[in-house]
Amino acid sequence: MIGKEILTTQHREIEGVIEEIRGCLNRQETAKDARITKRLLCNLISRLNNHTLLEDGQVYPALLESSSKPLRDLAESFQSEMEGIRESYTEFFGKWIHVEMIEDHIESFNHDANMIFNSLIRRFAQEEKELFPKATTLVKAASA
């Protein structure tokens, strides 16, 4: 299974992009800021896609094949919850991918962005607090 260090590093990188976008939103005064925000959104999409490909392709399958029922149940719960989060951020990116939409509806964009960003940050914290420690402990116990 992929080490939690790789996943937490990806979390920090994604959170860094989120903070850059929030910085643009705080000063959103020009069309230039909207273009920068769009570029950062594309960066965020790419990082999230890479992260979820890693989780879906390697992490969850390994956990779901575990001999430990608690670990399988935990992985199934996290994977199921992530599907809803993924749908939300995919819809968000589809709606706000055009600079003109951001420029013309900055308050709505800011509201939607903060909802998605907060959801992602909460999810990362939950993975790091609940999933990663249990997965590490249960994988070690199952392999002993």
Contact 123, 85 (CB under 8 A): yes
- How far apart are alpha carbons 83 and 80 in whole angstroms? 5
Q: What is the DSSP letter of 65?
A: T
Where residue 144 falls among pLDDT bands split at 50, 70, 90? very low
Q: pLDDT, tens digit, for every residue of 48-102?
A: 999 999 999 988 998 999 888 988 999 999 999 999 999 999 999 999 999 999 9
For the chain, what are the domain ranges? 4-143
pLDDT tens, residue by residue, 105-135: 988 999 999 999 999 999 999 999 998 887 7
